Amino acid sequence: PFVPLRRIAPSELATHGARKNETKTYWTVLEGKVYDMTPYLPYHPGGEKELLRVAGKDGTKLFNLTHPWVNWDNMLRGCEVGILVSENEMLK
């Protein structure tokens, strides 16, 4: 059966940032897909701190600046939360 992707607005994404985060889970966006990076944090070769730089926001640019060769789509399979949409799109 068709399972619709969960839609996530920037305001919800921001509640999963590095600071003032009551959810204790850390999300980022890569190419429009929202990922929960929390389980991956201890395994990142570049360290947790670098990952947290993109928590709560779009990480695509920084990711591609650092290591465009890394296959994030495969690595983060199972960590996908949904897709990023605008606040306006959310109201539809």
- Measured from the CB of residue 5, what is the shortest distance to ligand HEM in angstroms? 18
Q: How far is the CB of 13 from ligand HEM (least distance, A)?
A: 14
Q: Which residues contribute to the site for ligand HEM (CB under 6 A)?
A: 28, 37, 44-46, 50-51, 53-54, 59, 62-63, 66-67, 70, 72, 75-76
The minimum distance between CB 43 and ligand HEM, in angstroms, equals: 8
Per-residue HEC secondary structure of the chain comes to CCCCCCEECHHHHHHHCCCCCCCCCCEEEECCEEEECHHHHHHCCCCHHHHHCCCCCECHHHHHHHCCCCCHHHHCCCCEEEEECCHHHHCC
Query: Cβ closer to ligand HEM: 12 or 35?
Result: 35
Residue 40: DSSP 8-state: G
CB of 64 to ligand HEM, least distance (A): 9
- CA 44, distance to chain mean position in Å, is 14
Q: Which is nearer to ligand HEM, 13 or 37 (CB)?
A: 37
